[in-house]
Chains A and B, each alone.
Chain A
């Protein structure tokens, strides 16, 4: 019990970090699902590509594992460029794999998404190899500030950065969706794509915008996780995709606040599970939550129950 009390705040922080990342991934799933009604299988690979991009930026800006400029600038560049590259890949997949299938049966879209996922994964495998790439974060974060003590809790600076960036991005997205014209158009398109077209909204552009935002957030998550766990390989997208999807379903697929909430709950649940269970079962937690949610309340925590109009 004593151990638990000591562990608990620590695991809460860990859970929040992980949860923020899951939330970023989940937003990509949920936005695409909200508008196109499709499960973007390839989203995990977009995340993976973000991780690789972050690694490359760090690699190119380092000499002998030492960064050549201000560490804060490097981290910012890593995240921004990863977001850009992921967004670009996301837009390409939309343009070539999903747009031609806009009116096709659902199973075709799913299969195409599966194809994109396999293609991207093996593209990276072929050109980046199967070995994990290691982020040399030591040069980014000096020894003196690596650990921050907050009462009984010890937080690494990387975790703090991850939490700060994820929550900043989520706040920006919320404002964008609520306050801007594009955000309004997005919400309209999500409710009724056809009607939005009739009202003069360029739906194709909105869909591209959704892929840009979702993929950019996924790419940011990839780089953040790279900083946190200091490595990335071609296969990380698979697990991350499943986690992100679970978070999205947990929160209610199609709902952006739901994705954020779902991500954070999933992150906390996993971290707490590790406190009680052997670490090997961490990944099973997500599956169990997913199956329970799907069976008990498929519409998720914040999702709306939709009845098919006859």
Chain B
């Protein structure tokens, strides 16, 4: 982010400087030795950026990355040499190798991505080991890989008659691709895909619950990483004019990881700097060559302990200072509430359409005989109810009554033991959470699950993921679809965050969610689900942890959402005052069973409800108190 963000002029100047450097650098290298280091550095930069998509963006611990590099290299070796007498041109082999590697990546990913982090690491490590065993042993009975001796003597690269044989030619070729990969990495990061990855890295469950197809996104990261590694493998094989099994072994994997970690996972300029540093630095420490791997091990340990964000991370002079209106000149924080009222309070939120919506008789959600067992505990037992369009229905009940379990079932996080859930007449039982969000049911969480390290704006924009569809090609080439969707997303984010006035807009756009006050985090979570354009909102204790003033405000806001915008709302709430004010109907649960349903008055005076809340009559002095 830090290096290239800037106004148009700065960006142009920066691009010009980079271009000039790339043109002149091959010619100013002191000797062939350094020119070669310059070439290899370009390959490392590509590799590190590819791994950064997998490990940095998506947070997947992929230890088979170096095998993908090898698959690219060996594909080139087999298709462009005397090994089998196949001599395909470079411009054919490059995409073939890259897509083949991607295919292998997808195949490996689809079997192992269901596994959680550590398991994925072990399976991919095992795959890398098997790959190396194959390279070493596939020289008999038929000589395919050449065993330990590898394969050498490839066709020279020939691009439309332009032969690339000199190191300088390679320098331009390799760094051309390194630049392409860099631009691609930036475009991915700044797109819906980048936000999707970041959200799943932060909190996979929440990411799924706001509509991100996490399995697909992981697979995509895997595939893109493999694609880049395969491409780098081709260039490396051609440059070295040979491939050996030990070019694609564990040490290379560790080096690429060190580069990415040194630069900071996900930080593109950081990763480039990390790759350059770790390519060039060891050349100055050649007499300590034996200690090189030991040093890499230490780098990993020390960086993880002291600077997990990488060396570039948040170095002051690279990050531009942002104006913070919530701090006065002396640097003392002002309370956000004071600031909020100083700015005129919630004025924008009141500029709502004139229509007033109320509940209709059309059934939106229908729950039939829903039962959920956890081991021997029945958390919900045969629950049935219907919810009408534009109705506000509150679920109340003591702790452990099964309220949140109900939400987890409706939103697809759990699969019910028995029963059906129908949304607009469609059976959604057992669908994955992101698919349910796409149909128009979105939820918030009782214990807040924001993407803490993402900005307020990005938290909101992730909510648009399920309403946008630009794929990697569209994003990489900035096709019209991607640009249109990005504009729409921005417009929608302005509109939804604007509902909360100064609480979430202005300078707060770029603040990380973790720095928001508790109440504002609750608001942001509501904003995030509104971004998914839900027709049914599931709010799990929206006022939890709020003070009386804030509770009043959020009560009015929830009612406003229905009255002015026509959302249907299913609400879990403990503050009965809030429930009384906004609910059309109330359902009371106890031990997973519905004990009462109806208007607030009726439910609140129901014997069973009083009993559930306060205990049985005659068993304690406080029994019989009126709610």
Interface residues of A (CB under 8 A from B): 33, 38-39, 96-97, 100-101, 104-112, 114-123, 125-126, 242, 245, 249, 280, 284, 287, 290-291, 294-295, 298, 307-308, 310
Contacts and interface: CB of A to CB of B under 8 A. Distances in A.
Contacts of B126: 242, 287, 290-291
26 contacts: A33-B118, A39-B121, A101-B304, A101-B305, A104-B308, A106-B118, A109-B304, A110-B117, A110-B121, A111-B257, A115-B297, A117-B297, A118-B254, A120-B297, A126-B290, A126-B294, A242-B125, A245-B122, A287-B130, A291-B126, A294-B115, A298-B115, A298-B119, A307-B414, A308-B205, A310-B404
B363 interface: no
Contacts of A121: 293, 297
Contacts of A294: 112, 115, 119, 123
A193 B542 CA distance: 29
Interface of B: 55, 59, 61, 111-112, 114-115, 117-119, 121-123, 125-126, 129-130, 137, 205, 254, 257, 261, 265, 290-291, 293-294, 296-301, 304-306, 308, 374, 404, 408, 413-414, 445
Shortest Cβ-Cβ A-B pairs, 4 listed:
A115-B300, A119-B297, A118-B297, A39-B118
A111 B300 CA distance: 7
A116 B297 contact: yes
B265 A112 contact: no
A31 to B, nearest CB: 15
Contacts of A290: 122-123, 126
Given A104-B308, A107-B61, A118-B254, A97 B118 contact: no
A41 B465 CA distance: 36
A74 to B, nearest CB: 32
A269 B129 CA distance: 20
A115 B301 contact: yes
A128 to B, nearest CB: 13
B298 A115 contact: yes
A115 B413 contact: no
Nearest to A293: B119
Given A97-B301, A122-B294, A298-B115, A107 B55 contact: yes
A284 B293 CA distance: 27
A108 B308 contact: yes
Given A242-B126, A287-B129, A96 B301 contact: yes
A298 B114 CA distance: 10
Nearest to A305: B375
A207 B299 CA distance: 25
A121 B117 CA distance: 24
Contacts of A122: 291, 293-294, 297
B82 to A, nearest CB: 29
Nearest to A304: B375
B254 A114 contact: yes
A52 to B, nearest CB: 16
Contacts of A295: 111, 114
Contact of A123 (B59, B137, B294): B294
A100 B305 contact: yes
B374 A307 contact: yes
B306 to A, nearest CB: 8
B143 to A, nearest CB: 18
B296 A118 contact: yes
B122 A242 contact: yes
Nearest to B308: A108
A110 B118 contact: yes
Contacts of A104: 304, 308
Contact of B117 (A106, A242, A291): A106
B298 A310 contact: no
